[in-house]
């Protein structure tokens, strides 16, 4: 079965259209149809990623890791976020959460179309650190995206209550207490995951340097944008922990939205900047490539050439 990106993207678009239709009319079967299209999209999405992973694993290049390009990494983040949406759509059927989450899912899928699809064959010694690096960065990214969605919902809901505006038909949101809890947890989790992801990436680069293998320059756009993102997330977490008024309400929502801005800069560097993390312009270079699972640090062959 030949599954393309269009297959699951179209399913998510239909689910989003059904979410938007809440505002215009009521329907008893809409929720079932909406979940059905989301499940169909997730099945196709999973099939597509699995197929990519199998073909990567079967590559004639030694030690090619599955899902090892920025293209795959963005689609993997979209897949996790789509599962998060399905959870909310099932347990909070009356709330229009998909209006906020699904556009982010589709944005990640859209961004993936401009990212490099070229995998890279890492050295076996760096595989474990590369996998740790990629997994934690994916989890940190999803945590930041969930925080951005919940923070946006919180501000919209709080503004409506402050100005005593009547709720829009079909546009019901989670209560402020639940959104507040999601905001707080997303900041803490994103800090933990991002710290582990960046630290493991630094360790991986040091390993490559020690073994005199080609490494990612420390001034690479994705490296320093990831560093800035980590500094911000750690600062936001400390501010949230030490300053009690920032633990609840609009302040924590603003922190999650600001964190998303830093994340967007990092993703833009990955997709648009000339980088050795497998970005758009790296495909024409002999010393470029994407790391394991994530768009970060990569290992090169001992002869100094790219593994393509």
The residue ranking higher by pLDDT, 154 or 209, is 154
Average pLDDT of the segment spanning 188-207: 84
Share of residues in the chain with pLDDT > 70 (%):
74
> What pLDDT score was predicted for residue 215?
62
Q: In this structure, is residue 11 part of a structural domain?
A: yes
The residue ranking higher by pLDDT, 223 or 307, is 223
Q: What is the distance between the alpha carbons of residues 220 and 111, in angstroms, rounded to a whole number? A: 20
Average pLDDT of the segment spanning 189-194: 90
Average pLDDT of the segment spanning 49-53: 84
Q: In this structure, is residue 151 part of a structural domain?
A: yes
Q: In this structure, is residue 44 part of a structural domain?
A: yes
The residue ranking higher by pLDDT, 241 or 182, is 182
Q: Do 289 and 298 contact (CB within 8 A), yes or no?
A: yes
Structure-token pair, residue 261: 């801005």
Q: In this structure, is residue 39 part of a structural domain?
A: yes
> What pLDDT score was predicted for residue 143?
92
**Which band of pLDDT confidence, cut at 50, 70 and 90, is reported for residue 6?**
very high
Q: Please tell me the total count of domains within the chain.
A: 1
Q: In this structure, is residue 156 part of a structural domain?
A: yes
- Say if residue 194's pLDDT is above 70: yes
- Domain span including residue 204: 5-284
Write out pLDDT tens, residues 131-170: 777 788 889 999 999 999 998 999 988 888 887 777 676 6
Write out pLDDT tens, residues 89-136: 888 878 888 899 999 999 999 999 988 777 554 555 466 677 777 788
Q: In this structure, is residue 167 part of a structural domain?
A: yes
Q: In this structure, is residue 306 part of a structural domain?
A: no
DSSP result, 120-168:
----GGGHHHHHHHHHHHHHHHHHHHHHHHHHHHHHHHHHHHHTTPPPP
**Of 7-16, 53-62, 251-260, the least confident:** 53-62
Q: In this structure, is residue 303 part of a structural domain?
A: no
Q: What is the distance between the alpha carbons of residues 275 and 220, in angstroms, rounded to a whole number? A: 6
> What pLDDT score was predicted for residue 270?
78
The candidate with the shortest Cα–Cα distance to 140, out of 184, 203, 182, 186, is: 186
């Amino acid at each position: 079965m030949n599954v393309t990106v269009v297959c699951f993207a179209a399913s998510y678009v239909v689910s989003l259209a059904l979410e938007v239709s809440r505002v215009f009319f009521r329907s008893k079967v809409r929720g079932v149809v909406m979940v059905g299209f989301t499940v169909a999209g997730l099945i196709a999405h999973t099939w597509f990623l699995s197929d990519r992973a199998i073909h990567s694993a079967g590559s004639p290049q030694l030690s090619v890791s599955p899902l090892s390009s920025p293209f795959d990494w963005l689609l993997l983040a979209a897949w996790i976020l789509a599962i998060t949406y399905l959870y909310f759509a099932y347990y909070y059927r009356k709330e229009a959460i998909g209006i906020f989450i699904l556009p982010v899912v589709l944005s990640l899928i859209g961004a993936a179309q401009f990212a490099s699809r070229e995998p890279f064959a890492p050295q076996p010694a760096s595989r474990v650190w590369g996998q740790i690096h990629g997994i934690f960065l994916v989890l940190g990214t999803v945590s930041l995206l969930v925080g951005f969605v919940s923070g946006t919902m919180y501000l919209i809901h709080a503004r409506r209550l402050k100005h005593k505006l009547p709720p829009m038909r079909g546009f019901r949101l989670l209560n402020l207490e639940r959104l507040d809890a999601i905001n707080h947890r997303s900041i803490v989790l994103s800090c933990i995951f991002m710290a582990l992801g960046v630290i493991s990436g630094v360790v991986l680069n040091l390993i490559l340097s020690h073994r005199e293998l080609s490494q990612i320059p420390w001034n690479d756009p994705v490296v320093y944008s990831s560093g800035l993102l980590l500094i911000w997330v750690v600062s936001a977490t400390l501010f949230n922990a030490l300053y009690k008024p920032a633990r609840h309400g609009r302040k924590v929502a603003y922190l999650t939205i600001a964190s998303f801005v830093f994340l967007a800069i990092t993703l833009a560097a990955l997709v648009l900047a000339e980088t050795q993390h497998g970005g758009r312009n790296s495909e024409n270079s002999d010393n470029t490539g994407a790391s394991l699972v994530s768009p970060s640090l990569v290992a090169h062959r001992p002869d100094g050439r790219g593994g393509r």
